[in-house]
């Protein structure tokens, strides 16, 4: 069985790490360079950096900030936000990113997934999907959850895989920032549907939520932000707990 991964996420706005609830009520939580190094030193398996307003504001991800964060890491580093063409990804790779994450741009131009996978390899391409559930129907959204797309979560995730995505990062907007647990039923359905790794985001509040995620949600990785940023759960303690539950972690 593959080891499960624990992934802290840095949501970046105006060069600072921020966190909200259900994608709103955003507040600053610290310097992304310091936080990235801290998580790397604590034993995080990977780090995700998302420039959360880049697409909405129509600008590119902060390449200089990516360089500064990457210089302090010894773990894989995924960067997303405002990537709409191959040259954007090229710049981020040169700045130290190991993978790039695309979301709104993939929905607007699904061929971008094919192009990135062909050019850089599937292992470089993470397709992020922010979806909201209404009356049992999961719909993908764009621009940090601001715009509904009409795309159904499960069919869109499978299309992304077929086009060459190497991983799917699914965020449940219903669960984001609530600390009430992950969207395990949807995650289990996604993990059965996909053959590529599935990263779960949205809802982590306790160590038990991670054990439930891996046992019932069947995800390959658990991504969280505020519980790590505010010191509510330390990564070494979380990994120790998961091992005690019989879950294989790195």
In this prediction, residues 163-174 reach a mean pLDDT of 97
In this prediction, residues 173-190 reach a mean pLDDT of 95
User: Alpha helix (H) ranges present in the chain?
Assistant: 32-42, 54-57, 63-70, 86-95, 104-108, 111-120, 153-163, 184-193, 207-212, 226-229, 235-244
Catalytic residue list contains 11: yes
Instruction: Give the residue extent of every domain in the chain.
Output: 5-244
> Quick one: pLDDT band at residue 23, thresholds 50, 70, 90?
very low
* Stronger pLDDT, 21 or 202, i.e. the higher one: 202
In this prediction, residues 119-142 reach a mean pLDDT of 96
Could you read off the pLDDT of 186-243 as tens digits, one per residue? 999 999 999 999 999 999 999 999 999 999 999 999 999 989 988 999 999 999 999 9
Could you read off the pLDDT of 25-83 as tens digits, one per residue? 555 667 889 999 999 999 999 999 988 766 555 556 678 889 999 999 999 999 998 89
Q: Is the pLDDT confidence value at 144 over 80?
A: no
Mean residue pLDDT of the chain comes to 91
pLDDT at 81: 87
Fold of 5-244: TIM Barrel (3.20.20)
Q: Residue 33's closest CA among 1, 2, 3, 77?
A: 77
Question: Cα–Cα distances in Å, from 31 out to 10, 35, 101, 118, 127?
Answer: 10, 6, 21, 35, 26
- The pTM for the full model equals 0.93
Question: Which residue among the candidates 45, 51, 130, 176 is catalytic per the annotation?
Answer: 130
């Amino acid at each position: 069985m593959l080891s499960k991964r624990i992934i802290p996420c840095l949501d970046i706005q105006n060069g600072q790490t921020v966190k909200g609830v259900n994608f709103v009520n955003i507040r600053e939580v610290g310097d992304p360079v310091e936080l990235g190094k801290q998580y790397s030193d604590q034993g995080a398996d990977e780090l995700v950096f998302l420039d959360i307003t880049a697409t909405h504001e129509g600008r590119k991800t902060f390449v200089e900030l990516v360089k500064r964060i990457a210089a302090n890491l010894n773990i894989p580093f995924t960067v997303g936000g405002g990537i709409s063409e191959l040259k954007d990804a090229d710049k981020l790779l040169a700045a130290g990113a190991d993978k790039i994450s695309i979301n709104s741009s993939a929905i607007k131009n699904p061929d971008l997934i094919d192009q990135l996978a062909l050019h850089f390899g599937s292992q470089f391409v993470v397709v992020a999907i922010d979806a909201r559930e209404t009356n049992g129907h999961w719909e993908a959204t764009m621009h940090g959850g601001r715009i509904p797309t009409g795309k159904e979560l499960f069919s869109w995730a499978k299309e992304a895989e077929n086009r060459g995505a190497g991983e799917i990062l699914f965020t449940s907007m219903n669960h984001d920032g609530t600390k009430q647990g992950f969207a395990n039923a949807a995650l289990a359905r996604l993990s059965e549907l996909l053959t590529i790794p599935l990263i779960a985001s949205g809802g982590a509040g306790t160590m038990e939520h991670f054990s439930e995620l891996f046992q019932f949600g069947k995800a390959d990785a658990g991504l969280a932000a505020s519980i790590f940023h505010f010191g509510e759960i330390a990564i070494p303690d979380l990994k120790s707990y998961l091992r005690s539950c019989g879950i294989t972690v790195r």
